[in-house]
């Protein structure tokens, strides 16, 4: 389906999407696209006020692959892509598992995926509470985690994963909003979602989901641009058969696989492009 016809379908079905049935259940609180209800002004504020609670109420997980340049005569490439889930765990459910898989690791075993696309750096913040994880939400533009910002600033590209509702997206229940300042990356992602049969909407039509703030870590890359994906509750629910914190990583569905495959293919195509060359 071409972009014009896809947008026509999404517009026609928007009203039904808001009241449509859920295809699964999520244990997390409803997703919020803005920071209007945030309790903490920044990650530092959260870490300070919840001192001693990392590993209990929240966690941070990341992986940076080793790069070394010991030769004056040779120039080695910069890190190309980092995948992020800023509201993982129980905050925007399913984004942690997606972050790991899109970075090239099985979410349950952390074994590298054998799909030919390689592995990427990743960073995630996760809510670990049995309830009330929404209170741990820090809107992306206020993220000041030094590791997250360092990884974004050291990468040519970032793909950041978030959760929203169909009502916020104004679209069919199972859909993704494609945002960020990297227009080439957005084009590649939308094309791969078309191929994978995943409905999408352009973030430019939805200011709260657009991911265009320059303080958003997805755009704090070496090229000052990246990609952001906002997945509806229903799309994320369809990705798992056991939708609990313990069960999600080992119960992914073909919807999960199609989504991950689309993202990884888009990243590979972006990294081969001339717009990803610096210095």
pLDDT digits (tens, 9 = 90+) for 151-196: 999 999 999 999 999 999 999 999 999 999 999 999 999 999 999 9
What's the pLDDT score for residue 21? 30
**pLDDT at residue 71 tops 50:** yes
For 204-222, how does the pLDDT look when each residue is reduced to its tens digit (9 = 90+)? 999 999 999 999 999 999 9
Contact 125/43 with Cβ under 8 angstroms?
yes
Alpha-carbon distance values, 156 to 68, 83, 160 (Å): 17, 12, 13
Reported as a pLDDT band with limits 50, 70 and 90, residue 277 is low
Contact 190/200 with Cβ under 8 angstroms?
yes
For range 90-117, the mean pLDDT: 97
Reported as a pLDDT band with limits 50, 70 and 90, residue 274 is low
Instruction: Write out the two tokens for 278.
Output: 């610096």
For range 5-11, the mean pLDDT: 39
Q: Which residues pair with 82 in a beta bridge?
A: 121, 158
Q: How many CB atoms lie within 10 A of CB 7?
A: 16
Place of tokens 């014009």: 4
Kind and range of the H or E run holding 86: strand 79-89
Q: CA-to-CA distance for 74 and 224, rounded, in angstroms? A: 26
pLDDT greater at residue 273 or residue 249: 249
């Amino acid at each position: 389906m071409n972009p014009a016809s896809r947008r026509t379908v999404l517009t026609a079905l928007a009203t039904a999407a808001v009241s449509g049935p859920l295809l699964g259940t999520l244990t997390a609180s409803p997703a919020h696209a803005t920071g209007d209800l945030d309790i903490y002004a920044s990650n530092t504020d959260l870490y300070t006020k919840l001192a001693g609670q990392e590993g209990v109420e929240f966690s941070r997980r990341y992986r940076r692959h080793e790069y070394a340049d010991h030769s004056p005569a040779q120039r080695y490439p910069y890190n190309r892509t980092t995948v992020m889930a800023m509201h993982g765990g129980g905050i925007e459910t399913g984004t942690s598992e997606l972050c790991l898989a899109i970075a090239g690791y099985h979410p349950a075993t952390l074994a590298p995926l054998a799909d030919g696309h390689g592995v990427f750096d990743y960073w995630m913040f996760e809510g670990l509470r049995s309830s009330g994880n929404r209170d741990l939400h820090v809107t992306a533009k206020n993220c000041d985690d030094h590791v997250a910002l360092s990884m974004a600033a050291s990468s040519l590209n970032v793909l950041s994963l978030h959760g929203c509702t169909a009502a916020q997206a104004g679209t069919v229940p199972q859909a993704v909003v494609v945002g960020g300042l990297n227009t080439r990356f957005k084009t590649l992602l939308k094309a791969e979602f078309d191929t994978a049969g995943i409905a999408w909407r352009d973030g430019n039509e939805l200011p709260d989901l657009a991911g265009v703030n320059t303080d958003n870590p997805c755009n704090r890359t070496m090229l000052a641009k990246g990609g952001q994906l906002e997945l509806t509750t229903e799309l994320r629910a369809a990705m798992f058969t056991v939708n609990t914190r313990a069960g999600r990583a080992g119960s992914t569905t073909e919807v999960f696989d199609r989504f991950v495959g689309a993202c990884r293919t888009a990243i590979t195509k972006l990294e081969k492009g001339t717009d990803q060359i610096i210095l």
